[in-house]
Amino acid sequence: MWRSLFRHVYEKAGGLLELGKKEASQKFPVLEDRPAGRRHAEQAMETFETIEKKKGATVKEFRIYRWSPDLTACGPMVLDALQKIKAEDDSTLTYRRSCREGICGSCAMNIDGTNTVACLKPIDADTSKPTTITPLPHMYVIKDLAVDLTNFYRQYKSIEPWLKTRRLSEDGREYRQTPAERKRLDRLYECILCACCSSSCPSYWWNPEEFLGPAALLQAYRWICDSRDEFADQRLQALTEDQKRLYGCRTIKNCTKTCPKSLDPAGAIHKMKARHLLSVPVEKAESR
């Protein structure tokens, strides 16, 4: 009895397998004598049908080894490698760049975990390790390494980054400064608005709308420090009338650590806070 039952099940399974084979060869008659090709075709059909049925989660990440860079035929910086990949390997790779000299701030990105500008970042010569490049963190990505800087520039514009005076210059042409007054702008005017600092700041990640972020604040301080500008108090007031614009900074100092121009946005913020607190009555300062 067991033997006949076993034969019955065996024949049934064999029949199903034969049916499957028949169906498959009917679907792919040209692949009849090519089992591997037929298997792949069947899997492709299955994948297609599964994806069709899925409503969400249909984007899959592919990590593909595509480029084996010969570093002797490439410039020394990460931007050189990106240019080479774009020119020779994948023209769809998207990133911003312009000056190639650390002046325009366009090529800011995260390289091996640190925000920096790719044109000033040398390629790591250790060829046993890959280099990982991602867009600036916590920014909306437009494509590949290009992020949306609309909010960043809106905040920069809000600090009114231009000279504001009440009177005409003495000769009607230039507002002059002494060398000492000009020196006060050192380590401020060099900011290239790359956004490396703001996108490395946890306070900015949490509150990118209200907190102005270290880049806009360093720029604000640049104008507050300018001996020719006559609106320093008003500028400071505009930064502090809302609790978060300046005081959103929690002095974590990621901004200063990451700045590719070695500037000190955290220091500039600290000086503005000190200047503001010294100018407000104690009771008001205590409530902050």
* Binding footprint of ligand FES on the chain (CB under 6 A): 97-100, 102-107, 117, 119
* Partner touching 104 among ligand SF4, ligand FES, none, CB below 5 to 8 Å by kind: ligand FES
Q: What is the bridge-based pairing of β-strands 141-143 and 133-134?
A: unpaired
Using CA atoms, how far residue 50 sits from 28, 182, 234, in Å, is 19, 67, 62
The alpha-carbon radius of gyration of the chain (Å, integer) is 30
Evaluate whether 165 touches 177 at the Cβ level (below 8 Å): no
Tokens linked to 4: 């006949």
Tokens linked to 119: 């044109």
Euclidean distance between CA atoms 107 and 144, whole angstroms: 12
* Partner touching 272 among ligand SF4, ligand FES, none, CB below 5 to 8 Å by kind: none
Which residue number, 208 or 265, has a Cβ lying nearer to ligand SF4? Answer: 265
Contacts of 133 (CB under 8 A, 6+ apart): 78, 82, 109, 110, 111, 112, 118, 145
Minimum distance between the CB of residue 183 and ligand SF4, rounded to whole angstroms? 19
Which residue number, 24 or 216, has a Cβ lying nearer to ligand SF4? Answer: 216
* Partner touching 77 among ligand SF4, ligand FES, none, CB below 5 to 8 Å by kind: none
Check binding of 149 to ligand SF4 (CB under 6 A): no
Length of the chain as a residue count? 288
Which residue number, 92 or 262, has a Cβ lying nearer to ligand SF4? Answer: 262
Closest CA to 259 of 223, 288, 219, 229: 219
Q: Which of 251, 279, 284, 288 binds ligand SF4 (CB under 6 A)?
A: 251
- Helix %, strand %, coil % of the chain (to 5): 45, 5, 50
Minimum distance between the CB of residue 116 and ligand SF4, rounded to whole angstroms? 9
Minimum distance between the CB of residue 134 and ligand SF4, rounded to whole angstroms? 17
Which residue number, 252 or 280, has a Cβ lying nearer to ligand SF4? Answer: 252
CB atoms within 10 A of CB 177: 14
* Partner touching 265 among ligand FES, ligand SF4, none, CB below 5 to 8 Å by kind: ligand SF4
Residue type for position 150: T
Q: Which of 220, 259, 272, 273 binds ligand SF4 (CB under 6 A)?
A: 259
Helix (H) or strand (E) holding 272: helix 265-279
Which long-range CB contacts under 8 A does 173-179 form with residues at least 24 apart?
A: 175/228, 176/228, 177/227, 177/228, 178/227
Binding piece for ligand SF4, criterion CB under 6 A, among 6-14, 22-30, 135-143, 210-218? 210-218
* Partner touching 254 among ligand SF4, ligand FES, none, CB below 5 to 8 Å by kind: ligand SF4
Minimum distance between the CB of residue 206 and ligand FES, rounded to whole angstroms? 27
Check binding of 110 to ligand SF4 (CB under 6 A): no
* Site string (15-34) toward ligand SF4, x via CB under 6 A: --------------------
Counting Cα atoms < 13 Å in the Cβ hemisphere of 131 gives: 21
Which residue number, 77 or 193, has a Cβ lying nearer to ligand SF4? Answer: 193
- Kindly list the residues in this chain that would bind ligand SF4 in the complex (CB under 6 A): 191-197, 201, 203-204, 214-215, 218, 249-255, 259, 261, 263, 265-266, 269
